[in-house]
Each structure stands twice: as structure tokens, then as C-alpha cells.
Amino acid sequence: EADIYQTPRYLVIGTGKKITLECSQTMGHDKMYWYQQDPGMELHLIHYSYGVNSTEKGDLSSESTVSRIRTEHFPLTLESARPSHTSQYLCASSVSGDGYTFGSGTRLTVV
Amino acid sequence: GENVEQHPSTLSVQEGDSAVIKCTYSDSASNYFPWYKQELGKGPQLIIDIRSNVGEKKDQRIAVTLNKTAKHFSLHITETQPEDSAVYFCASKAAGNKLTFGGGTRVLVKP
């Protein structure tokens, strides 16, 4: 059973709203990642962190921001949601950078 | 950077038949190759992985083969069952780097 949790599972929100997607893991993993998954299946890395106070942008440009104040918590924030942000967001963690453990995802719809 | 190509993008097989998914990678320094299975409404889950010092690895009905010279690796599922229907992702990683994922294969096992 994966010990990485994402909330909410589903979110429908209006354009211009600020949202925070939560991701927490209880495994003590230093490395954490955020992926955006489009309807075509592909996984796009948007942010990652290798430890507390360390965050980096991923391969896909994103208007979202992240923070890593605690090892177990890696929230993603959108200051002003737009319809183009509608997607599935997946959080993952890893101890060594090899096998990732993924959360169940948050499906975001911006109307 | 690393590029991973995955084929086919969709695969339909009859229950009991075998399924094969192939991936090629570009970075000859890649040394870790995991496979993930993503069921509907869930995050990807690691099902098997292989390192560059091994040519083949088996776990019950699934196996992965690696050809370092040709820079490709494959996932083999034997005696497919309806519960094998899912999206499968290959990935590769060079030391110190992040995983690079393939585009995914949607597998449908017809009863």
C-alpha cells in the first residue's frame, strides 16, 4: 500500500481562483516530484525537490509553484487558475531517485 | 537529455495471449529501467525494474529484457488476464538524474 497521499482527489473550480493541491508522504523520502498527465497519457514533470528548502522546475513549463518546508509535505499552488490548467496532477516520492511511489492523483477542472 | 520512445501506443490482445511493449532510450549512460502500470483512477505503480548489469528479469507472468547495445528494453506479459488491462509506462534513468518516461501504452485484454 502506497504511503503517499494526494488531496483533493477531484476539484472543480472557477477561473481566477487560487488553489493548492496537497501531497504528503510518510516514508521519509527526500525526493519528491509533481507530474502533469494529459488526456493522451503522457507524464510531464513540472516540479521536483531533493529535500527541504530545495525545489526545481521540471521539463514542462508550468505556472504553478511548489514549496518544501517539511520532508513529508510538497504542496503545489496555482495563484490564478485557468481552463488551460485542467489536467490530472500526480505527486511521487523516492528515497534513492530510482523507484518512484505515486499518489492517486488530483483531477483538476477549471471552469 | 534522455529521450524514451515507447511502442505501441495501444495494444489489444485476447485473454491468454502474450503482450509485448518495447522502449528505446537515447542516453548510453542510463542504468535503471522501471516499468509502471496505471489503472483507471489511480497513479502509476512500479511493477518490475531492471538494472543495466542484468539482461532479463522475471516476476511471475511479467518479464523485462534489456539490450544495452541496441539501447532498448521490453516488457513481456504472458497469459494475459482482464486485470492486466491498464496503461503501462517504461522509464529510464542515468545515475544522479531523474526518471524519463515513455509516452505510455494502453493495453486492453479482451475476454
Which of A43, A60, A106 to probe the B interface (max B CBs under 10 A)? A43
For B101, residues 6+ apart whose C-beta sits below 8 A from its C-beta are: A42, A43, B4, B36, B89, B90, B91
Nearest by Cα to A92 from A1, A3, A19, A9: A3
Return the number of other C-beta atoms located less than 10 Å from residue A110's C-beta. Answer: 20
Q: In this predicted structure, what is the pLDDT of residue A37?
A: 96
Q: In this predicted structure, what is the pLDDT of residue B18?
A: 98
User: Rounded distance, CA B107 to CA B86, Å?
Assistant: 5
Q: In this predicted structure, what is the pLDDT of residue B36?
A: 98
**Dihedral Cα A45, A96, B30, B22, nearest 10 deg:** -70
CB B11 within 8 A of CB B105: yes
Which of A95, A100, A101 to probe the B interface (max B CBs under 10 A)? A100
For B17, residues 6+ apart whose C-beta sits below 8 A from its C-beta are: B80
CA of B89 vs chain A CAs: smallest distance (Å): 9
* Nine cell digits for residue A41: 497519457
State the average pLDDT over residues A32-55. 94
The better pLDDT of the pair A38, B26 is held by: B26
State the average pLDDT over residues A39-55. 93
User: Rounded distance, CA B97 to CA A49, Å?
Assistant: 12
* Nine cell digits for residue B20: 509485448
Q: In this predicted structure, what is the pLDDT of residue A1?
A: 55
Tell me, yes or no, if A41 comes closer than 8 A to chain B by beta carbon.
yes
Q: How confident is the model at residue A85 (pLDDT cuts 50, 70, 90)?
A: very high
Cβ of B49 within 8 Å of Cβ of A98? The answer is yes
> Which of B41, B44, B98 is the closest to A48 by Cβ?
B98
Q: In this predicted structure, what is the pLDDT of residue A2?
A: 56
Tell me, yes or no, if B111 comes closer than 8 A to chain A by beta carbon.
no
Q: How confident is the model at residue A98 (pLDDT cuts 50, 70, 90)?
A: confident
DSSP label of B82: G
User: Rounded distance, CA A23 to CA A111, Å?
Assistant: 23
State the average pLDDT over residues A13-41. 95
* Nine cell digits for residue B73: 528494453
Cβ of B98 within 8 Å of Cβ of A33? The answer is yes
Q: 3-state SS of A3-60? A: CEEEECCEEEECCCCCEEEEEEECCCCCEEEEEEECCCCCEEEEEEEEECCEEEECCC
State the average pLDDT over residues A85-94. 96
User: Rounded distance, CA B11 to CA B109, Å?
Assistant: 8
Which of B21, B23, B101 to probe the A interface (max A CBs under 10 A)? B101
Asked if the model's pLDDT at residue A54 lies above 80, the reply is yes
Q: How confident is the model at residue A51 (pLDDT cuts 50, 70, 90)?
A: very high
Asked if the model's pLDDT at residue A16 lies above 70, the reply is yes
Q: In this predicted structure, what is the pLDDT of residue A36?
A: 96
The better pLDDT of the pair A86, B1 is held by: A86
Tell me, yes or no, if B57 comes closer than 8 A to chain A by beta carbon.
no
Task: For chain B, list residues with pLDDT below 50.
Answer: none
CB A102 within 8 A of CB B44: yes
